[in-house]
């Protein structure tokens, strides 16, 4: 059966900070710079569409 309902292209991501090993859930199309809540390292930067992820992605959440 064909799925006629469009699914959103944006996803939430579980990422791990490279400096302090903190795991955090972020939005993949964020419009602001996302920093780690523990150490303040930049995890993602906006690019006008999808964010540029500057850390390790552990999981893509549906």
Residues in binding site for Zn(2+): 17, 20, 36, 39
Cα–Cα separations (whole angstroms), residue 35 to 6, 9, 62: 31, 23, 22
């Amino acid at each position: 059966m064909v799925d006629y309902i469009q699914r959103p292209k944006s996803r939430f991501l579980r990422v791990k900070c490279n400096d302090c090993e903190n795991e955090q859930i972020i939005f993949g199309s964020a419009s602001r710079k996302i920093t780690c809540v523990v150490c303040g390292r930049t995890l993602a930067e906006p690019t006008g569409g999808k964010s540029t992820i500057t850390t390790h992605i552990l999981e893509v959440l549906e």
